[in-house]
Homo-oligomer: A and B are copies of this chain.
Amino acid sequence: MTTVASQSLDLAERAPLLDRFEDVARAAMPRLTPDEAATVERELAAWTRLDARYPTPSAELAGVAAAVPERLYDDSAQVLLRMHEIAGSGNYQSCLSSLPLVRACFDLGLVPGHHPGDAEATDAELIVGRGHIAPSFYAERYVRGAFPFAPLTTLHRDGLTGVVHQNWGFRNTMRYSLGVGVAQAVSLAWELRRRGKQRKVVCLAGDGELHEGVTFECLRFAYEAGLDNLILVVDANGKGIEPLRAPVSREYLSHYLGTATDADGQDTESVAKALRELLDTPGSGVLLCATRKEGHSFKPPATPSAPAPRPSFATTSGKLLASFQEATERQLAVFTGDMAARFGLTGAVPYENVGLAETLSLGLTLSLPDDTVKVVATDAMYYMDSLSMLTEATTSTRNLLVLAGRSWGAWGGASNALNLLDQVMGTKVYEPVTAAEFTACAARLLTDPSTAHVLSMVDARFAEPGTHCAADIDGAVWITPPGTDGQDAPDLDCAVISFGYATVLVEEANREFGVPHLHCAALRPHLDPALTERLRRCRSLLSVEYNGVPGGFGEGLRARHLLPVTAHGVTGDILNCVHDKQLARHDMAPAQLTERLRDLRENGPAA
């Protein structure tokens, strides 16, 4: 997949980042302007000639930029827009909202490698708690001449990550948890004090993430432990994913952090001046920057000729809940941590947005009447900081329906999240992939109200499979039945059994093979003994789940039934790339599954 030019060099001598960016940048070419494409070509060519060993990835990128110094844009806002237009997705508005704050950090020399001069350099460390604004830093590095253009064309496409990472010049690395940046900042402030250092820590945070309980734990501790070296810079745009109910509380923050200062967050100089003052004043402090954010996610401009894309399955939740409510006449209480759009709630059912505070979204169910159907709509991953509260809810409430959004795209969905939810006492986990399955799960809740029903709601856009489990939501249904050849239940040579969304992927992969294929909507299905025995006698048996293997669907079949199934699923962490790329990175793309099915049929399971 590498170019002819690069193949002529010894691979060991290639600058290490070229392999990461080259193919992705070339794939982006059709979306570039002619000038951009020419620049990328020049940069890639220069990159192949670099043979120096750079101490860090940032240094290597600066080396490429130095080799092709001309700039296409001198305004980082324009660079940000182009990055998102080329990517087709991302958190453009968040990045734009924080851009003046980011520029101020560069101007004050807070960004590693960007000290404007010793006289100006401030003695402080920068923790970027707004994890998604990494692109603002790349854009600013670009206009300041320390970053090439080519990597910018790879954002969210398995090249450059949209979340801050130490690889790309940040002091801290984030996964996805909101509020972690504040913890990282307090950890660093504590360590600096322990070592007797006078440096301060500057933490860039969003007003939305200050809803998270852990940020309170951090600020309360910093105050009580006497840390006097923490400066919290708040991008106060009044929005999490949705608009905040109320502005972030100045009184609360200043109680724990001391000096509170305001700045015009749309004006770099105003931010820089106020931040400099806080850095020069003894003690901790908070800088509230009034900013603006138009939306949350980048929406590519509509192309009139293209048909509207199919909605993601998760966004149909609101309508499905409304139909369920109408059919059953049950009172619903719906809570979401800022994710009404993700679940299509707006205009479909009344709901309460609790802000970015997932533990609270569960807590609010605790004292409601038994008969009320309590719906909590959030992200599978967010729940990982609320499992004790979830246990309180599963053991003390009735009629609890948890919608756990899952994508492994830009927002959450760790591969182990569902398996963790399944381990919580009093839960049953399903991953419906048709409207009928969703409704069957909700109906099942009413017949078993003391068990919390967790529905993994996949963010992917897909056509419903040819058949489904709605008639027996705990069972299994043949998507591709075995040929019976006139026999009642002949032995199977091989078979594949898949869970939830993986069924959609396997169905596509299996078209040319026709391997007998079972589908389950339940993470822990009840297979009837005859079926179990028939599966046990297969020469080779594969399970597929778009879910973590440890403790997952396939391992459950092994543990409960001692079925010699080879469990295929997700083994690593979530990755910072869009859905289609995630599938391929986790060996779950239909073409990859086709190979697994071929092996299954021809060679039996892997050892």
Contact = CB atoms under 8 A, between A and B. Distances in A.
Interface stretch (A35-43, A171-179, A488-496, A598-606): A171-179
Interface stretch (A96-104, A243-251, A499-507): A243-251
Interface in A538-554: 548, 550-551
Nearest to A251: B255
Contacts of A214: 213, 359-360, 363, 389
Q: Find the residue from A186, A364, A555 having the highest chain B CB count within 10 A.
A: A364
A224 B246 contact: yes
Contacts of A555: 559
A365 B174 CA distance: 14
Contacts of A174: 392
Q: Find the residue from A172, A175, A221 having the highest chain B CB count within 10 A.
A: A221
A183 interface: yes
Q: Find the residue from A213, A220, A365, A388 having the highest chain B CB count within 10 A.
A: A388
A33 interface: no
Interface string A357-387: 1011011111111000000000001101111
B221 A360 contact: yes
A259 interface: no
A482 to B, nearest CB: 24
B360 A183 contact: yes
A285 interface: no
Interface string A411-426: 0001110011001110
Interface string A162-180: 0000000000111101001
A389 B183 contact: yes
Contacts of A218: 360, 363
Q: Find the residue from A182, A354, A382, A548 having the highest chain B CB count within 10 A.
A: A354
Given A190-B364, A389-B180, A423 B420 contact: yes
Contacts of A297: none
Nearest to A387: B384
A423 B414 contact: no
Interface residues of A, number: 84
Contacts of A187: 363-368
Contacts of A363: 180, 182-184, 186-187, 214, 217-218
Contacts of A556: 559
A211 interface: yes
A439 interface: no
Contacts of A182: 363
Contacts of A351: none
A225 interface: yes
Contacts of A559: 555-556, 558-559
A177 B184 CA distance: 25
A391 interface: yes
A183 B364 contact: yes
A245 B256 CA distance: 14
Contacts of A221: 354-355, 357, 360, 364
A45 interface: no
B213 A359 contact: yes
Interface string A187-219: 110110010000000000000000111111110
A573 interface: yes
Interface in A513-553: 548, 550-551
A223 interface: yes
A352 B127 CA distance: 22
Nearest to A191: B368
A463 interface: no
Nearest to A255: B251
A366 B183 CA distance: 7
24 contacts: A175-B392, A175-B396, A182-B363, A187-B365, A187-B367, A188-B367, A213-B359, A217-B354, A217-B357, A217-B360, A217-B363, A220-B249, A220-B252, A221-B354, A221-B355, A221-B360, A225-B245, A249-B256, A251-B251, A387-B420, A414-B425, A420-B424, A425-B573, A558-B562
Query: Would you list the 6 A-B pairs with minimal beta carbon distance, nearest first?
Result: A213-B213, A183-B363, A216-B216, A384-B388, A188-B367, A559-B559
Given A186-B364, A359-B385, 6 more contacts: A177-B388, A177-B391, A187-B363, A213-B217, A224-B246, A420-B424
